[in-house]
Amino acid sequence: MIESLNLVEQQIPASISRRGSMRILTENVTCGIKITGNDEITMQGNVINIGYEGLVAKLSEALTISQRVYITIKLPQPYGDIKLEGRVMWISMDKDKGFLAGINFFVFENQEKLKPIKDFIYDNINNVKIIDRRKGEKRAIGKKELNNLNNQRKRERRLQKPIFLKCIRYNRMKRLMNENIYFYLREIQSRSGNRIIVKGKELRNFGSNNYLGLTSHPLITEAAIKAIEKYGVGSGGVRVLSGTMDLHNQLEKKLANIKSGEDCIIFSSGYNANVGVISCLINKDEYVIIDEKSHASIIDGCMLAKANMVVFRHNNMIDLEKKLQKIPANVSKIIMTDGVFSMDGDVAELDTIHSLSQKYKAATYIDDAHSTGVMGKNGKGTAEYFNLEGKIDLTIGTLSKALGGVGGFLVASKDIIHYLKHNSRSFVFSTSLPPATCAALLKAVEIIETEPIWHQKLWQNINYVTKELRGLGFDIRKTESAIIPIIFKNDDSTYSITKELEEAGIFVSPVVYPAVRKNESRIRVSIMATHTENDLHYFLEKLTKISRKNKIIN
């Protein structure tokens, strides 16, 4: 909770930001922050700026993105105290080793609550000196960058629809393109296998979620072709009206069986599954308790549901129990987590989570996107890995990773699935999966069940690469899955090594803030069952050579 801003007459700021919403820049203004559900721990800091939509505070400790906070702002008289809810939208490291946090006010339809802040800014706008932050840019950039900036300003002056101004001013990726270190939206000109073609060049692929290599399995390809010949390329409608085919029902039955559940619902993507399930099942007076590194789609679903979101420290079961103890015993609550975390490759402590859910009467929700086909003795997911099959209330999965297709699903009780099929907006209002995709996925599930060699080969490759990387001194954190993060911390080093690896014939994906925390930049390596010994040896050889040259390892 932000206790107070203690603004006084002589502390009215001397400058105001021109970009975006109106923001008054402040000096010597302190704040205290408390997080809902914490042990009343107060963070002291300074308010950098405050505006209509939120504020920026400098703190001694980091907050967590998406945390919900209660805010009390004490403005000078006659404006008085204002009480608002807020959510942490971004965090970053400050140059003085502090943390900056951007907190948006959470007012929904009640904009009247913001009136005192708007009055304060409006009444004091004539007392501030307007600073154009762009004036200094000419002195700090080169000729090429200056030409780009001038072209941008010309586009801004011609812009007649201000809503698109943010698009013109989004320069982060343009800078990477200009510096030839842009590695996003790369065009692949072949199948997504252990070898791919990019810009006409063959690369060894270590950036795919196709863990079992099933995207090009001949039996799966054949099943898809036969389905097109029989059903055509599309379903022609949404599931509840005219888009349910026999293939959809067969696939849902198969998925429910592999996850040891009663029933299943298929969505058009894993993202739509999380958003559609959470926003439909959770009400604003109910509590969701999520791991701080949960996938963005879980966070977005919680925000759409306007739920009381409580965040516990990553895989910290002591902190999870503390959060559960703070929630009233008689309210509805659910614990949500990824099974395998997409950027770190570590596994949720599902056995402890299940025990705590029983103790505190909370439902359980696990996103098995990177677990299905990978974790467990037979590749059935995190629940199988912890011998908890059939004991998790809600299991989300994707059809686009180890299964090699596209889509998402939820396995749960028949009553829950029946309710979602008639009320979840991302299901009811989305055209159903194409029949060829369903046929391919049915064959993929069959292969997982009848050809264990792919699961065995995947883990043979995972164990070999992780052992070698740790032995060489790479920081790969606590990965226990097909996802191996190789931490370089510095963004420039991450992009430089990605570029050198690509030049050496290796495709990997760089991941930097805000996808991961500041100073945790990495390349995200994905291991596949179809990687050959030659692929793995070549990757390790080139990575080691390039990393030693860049002084990442000795």
pLDDT over 90, % of the chain: 64
Compute the mean pLDDT over every residue in the chain, rounded to the nearest whole number.
87
CA dihedral (151, 157, 160, 164) positive or negative? positive
CATH superfamily for 9-130 is predicted glycosyltransferase like domains (2.40.10.220)
For the chain, how big is the Rg over CA atoms in Å?
Answer: 26
Fold annotation for 216-450: Aspartate Aminotransferase; domain 2 (3.40.640)
In the chain, domain spans: 9-130, 133-170, 195-205+453-549, 216-450
Among 365, 342, 353, smallest CA distance to 280 is for 365
| pLDDT tens per residue across span 183-225 | 999 999 999 999 999 999 999 999 999 999 999 999 999 999 9
Phi-psi domain of 296 (left: phi exceeds 0; alpha: psi -120 through 50; beta: other): alpha
Of 342, 357, 432, 526, which is the active-site residue?
342
489 noted as active-site residue: no
Dist. CA 224–CA 278, nearest whole Å: 31
Give me the pLDDT at residue 475, please: 96
Dist. CA 497–CA 488, nearest whole Å: 9
Dist. CA 317–CA 349, nearest whole Å: 8
467 noted as active-site residue: no
Give me the pLDDT at residue 130, please: 45
Of 323, 401, 443, 455, which is the active-site residue?
401
Dist. CA 393–CA 375, nearest whole Å: 19
Give me the pLDDT at residue 5, please: 35
DSSP tag of 340 = B
Contact 270, 290 (CB under 8 A): no
- What is the mean pLDDT of the segment spanning 318-347? 96
On the question of pLDDT at 16 being above 50, the answer is no
Give me the pLDDT at residue 24, please: 72
| pLDDT tens per residue across span 122-177 | 776 655 544 444 444 444 445 666 676 667 666 666 666 777 777 877 778 888 88
Kindly indicate the confidence band of residue 89, based on its pLDDT and cuts at 50, 70 and 90. Answer: confident
| Range in 3-12, 128-137, 353-362, 536-545 the model is least confident about | 3-12
The CATH code of the domain at 195-205+453-549 is 3.90.1150.10
Per-position DSSP letters for 3-53, written without gaps between them: ------GGG--SEEE-SSS-EEE-SS-EEEE-BTTSSSPPEEEEEEEEESS
Those residues whose C-beta lies under 8 Å from the C-beta of residue 153, and which sit 6 or more positions away, are none
Token duo for residue 69? 């906070």
Of 323, 370, 380, 531, which is the active-site residue?
370
Give me the pLDDT at residue 7, please: 35
* pTM for the predicted model, two decimal places: 0.77
DSSP tag of 152 = H
Contact 443, 247 (CB under 8 A): no
Dist. CA 400–CA 423, nearest whole Å: 24
Give me the pLDDT at residue 133, please: 44
370 noted as active-site residue: yes
Q: Cis peptide leading into 78, omega within 30 of 0?
A: yes
DSSP tag of 375 = S
On the question of pLDDT at 13 being above 50, the answer is no
Phi first, then psi, for residue 475 (nearest 5°) are -85, 105
